[in-house]
Each structure stands twice: as structure tokens, then as C-alpha cells.
């Protein structure tokens, strides 16, 4: 078992690497318990306790389930592991939730109570921009200031159009899947539109949009269908990109696109939370 400083180092390293995990922290104990207040554990998406200690089997199953749920919907949980007598006294049953607390039964001989706070630690949502048009540059700037991680996919010569980026990819070789949410915007402005769209539609993303007219998008989709891109993939493409704000300038168009990305991101969170509630 590692000490607290080791756990903090692991947490920091996983955050820097953009690797999702849940952090479980014992916040209160009553009577005899294996773990004490302040104990922490890093829990991976598959339920593995990577490092740390939150007690034995008395709390483990309930905390791991809470960690998986938290990573799935991005919402923190408070788990209260109590002996049967305490649950009966409070008229609660194992598995029930009340006022934000999920209750679990402690069947260990210690018969203590542990409250564990479980919080998801997820990579920053990522805006991926294909191309280096004025709209692309404006989206990158606005996205960074709005808390998104920004990935630029453009040729080596076009990368200089962007002052800052969290990641730069020469060309369109974006990984098919990555941890966290991704929102992809193709703004190539006539320079390799078809290649960029084909690459964008091949990846897993929460949102894929093309900056261009609806007519141009339909022409490009027809060409991509002939190349073998499936109708299901093509149906994911949003064009014209952005909310209909009457935008004209590159900055206004960027605002409309980022507003749409925020709407997609937040509506997805609300829907997941509603399903879990």
C-alpha cells in the first residue's frame, strides 16, 4: 500500500496523461472500520483499484459500482456503508439513494459505518479542428478560452496559423478512439475537404460538423458514399455547422459552432443523469 504522497503523484500523472479514473475518499467513519477518514483509492474504468485503500470487501463492491457509474455519467457519488441495524433504524435499504447518498450494507464483523465520496476524473473535453481556415483559427481560440482541449489536424505549413494548441497532428491521422468526449469540426475551406471529411467520419466522436453550405456537404457526402463510407457514418455529419444565429464573420461562425458543441455536450450529460437517476 502506498502512502498519501504516492497516491497524489499517481493522480497527478493520470490527469496529465488524460487517463480517466475515479477517486474514492473516505470522508467519515463511525466505530471500528478497516479504513479511516482521509484514505483514498484510484479506481480505473474497469473497476480495478489501481492504488490506495478504502477498506476490505465490506465497502469494495459498493464503491466500485459507484465509481463505474460516476465514470459513465460524470457525476460524483456519496456512498454510505452501514451495518444492517443502522440501515433499519434509518428506514433505508442497501442500494437505495436518498438526498444524494447511496446506501450499502456492511456485513463485516466490525459493523462500522463508512462514508466514501466517489468523484470521476475525466479528460478535458476535446475540440478537434481539421483545417486552418479563419473559422478554424477562431474556433481554436474560443475553445481554449472555454475550457476545451484543442487538437489541430492540418499540414505542417498550416499549423503556424494557430498560436496555441494542446496537440498538433500533421495531416488527418486522428486516433479512431480516445478517452473523453470529442467534438470534431472540419473547416478546410476547399483545401482537401473530401479527405478531411473521410478521416473525421472514421473516428468515434460526440459531434462531427462541416463548415460549408448544405449543398456542398451533400456533394461531398455523395462522393464519400462512392468511396465506401457507410450511410450510418454519413448521417452523423452536421452541416451547416453551428446554431442558426445568422452568423457572418469567422468569429460569429465560431461562436455559433461552439454554442452547438456546448449544447450537445450538456444535453448528453443531462440525458445520462436522467437515466441514472
| 267 CB-near residues (< 8 Å, 6+ apart) | none
Greater confidence, 166 or 273?
166
Q: Residue 272 pLDDT > 60, yes or no?
A: no
**In the prediction, which pLDDT does 275 show?**
36
- Sketch out the chain's domains with CATH numbers: 4-121 (no CATH), 126-270 (3.40.50.720)
| Dihedral sign of CA atoms 102, 103, 109, 112 in order | positive
| Dihedral sign of CA atoms 56, 59, 61, 64 in order | negative
**Nearest Cα to Cα of residue 57 among 91, 72, 49, 22:** 49
pLDDT grade, residue 232 (50/70/90)? Answer: very high
The span from the CA of 134 to the CA of 211, in Å, is 11
Mean pLDDT, to the nearest integer, of 52-79?
A: 86
pLDDT grade, residue 270 (50/70/90)? Answer: low
| Dihedral sign of CA atoms 138, 143, 149, 153 in order | negative
CB 131 within 8 A of CB 156: no
pLDDT digits (tens, 9 = 90+) for 95-118: 788 888 888 887 776 678 889 999
CB 82 within 8 A of CB 73: no
pTM, full prediction: 0.71
pLDDT grade, residue 92 (50/70/90)? Answer: confident
User: Residue 245 gets which letter from DSSP?
Assistant: S
User: Dihedral (C-alpha) 56, 62, 68, 70: value to the nearest 10 degrees?
Assistant: -120
Determine what percent of the chain is predicted with pLDDT higher than 70: 94
**In the prediction, which pLDDT does 123 show?**
86
Mean of all residue pLDDT scores within the chain: 88
Least confident window among 14-23, 114-123, 165-174, 178-187: 14-23
Report residue 99 as a C-alpha cell: 438526498
Helix H, strand E, coil C: the string for 32-89 is CCCCCCCCEEEECCCCCEEEECCCCHHHHHHHHHHHHHHHHHCCCEEEEEECHHHHHH
pLDDT grade, residue 276 (50/70/90)? Answer: very low
Amino acid at each position: 500500500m502506498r502512502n498519501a504522497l504516492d497516491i497524489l503523484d499517481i493522480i497527478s500523472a493520470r490527469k496529465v496523461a488524460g487517463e480517466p479514473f475515479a477517486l474514492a475518499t473516505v470522508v467519515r467513519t463511525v466505530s471500528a472500520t478497516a479504513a479511516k477518514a482521509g484514505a483514498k483509492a484510484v479506481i480505473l474504468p474497469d473497476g480495478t483499484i489501481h492504488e490506495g485503500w478504502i477498506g476490505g470487501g465490506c465497502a469494495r463492491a459498493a464503491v466500485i459500482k459507484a465509481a463505474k457509474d460516476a465514470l459513465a455519467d460524470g457525476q460524483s457519488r456519496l456512498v454510505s456503508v452501514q451495518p444492517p441495524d443502522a440501515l433499519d433504524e434509518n428506514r433505508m435499504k442497501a442500494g437505495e439513494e436518498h438526498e444524494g447518498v447511496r446506501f450499502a450494507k456492511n456485513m463485516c464483523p466490525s459493523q462500522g459505518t463508512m462514508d466514501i465520496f466517489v468523484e470521476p476524473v475525466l479528460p478535458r473535453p476535446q475540440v478537434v479542428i481539421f483545417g486552418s481556415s479563419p473559422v478554424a483559427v477562431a474556433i481554436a481560440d474560443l475553445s481554449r478560452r472555454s475550457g476545451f482541449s484543442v487538437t489541430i489536424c492540418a499540414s505542417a505549413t498550416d499549423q503556424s496559423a494557430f498560436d496555441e494548441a494542446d496537440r498538433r497532428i500533421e495531416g488527418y491521422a486522428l486516433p479512431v478512439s480516445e478517452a473523453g468526449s470529442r467534438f470534431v469540426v472540419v473547416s478546410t475551406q476547399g483545401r482537401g475537404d473530401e479527405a478531411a471529411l473521410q478521416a473525421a467520419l472514421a473516428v468515434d466522436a460526440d459531434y462531427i460538423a462541416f463548415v460549408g453550405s448544405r449543398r456542398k456537404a451533400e456533394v461531398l457526402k455523395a462522393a464519400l458514399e462512392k468511396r465506401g463510407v457507410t450511410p450510418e457514418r454519413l448521417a452523423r455529419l452536421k452541416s451547416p455547422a453551428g446554431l442558426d444565429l445568422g452568423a457572418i464573420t469567422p468569429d460569429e461562425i465560431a461562436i455559433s459552432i461552439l454554442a452547438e458543441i456546448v449544447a450537445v455536450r450538456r444535453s448528453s450529460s443531462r440525458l445520462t443523469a436522467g437515466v441514472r437517476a
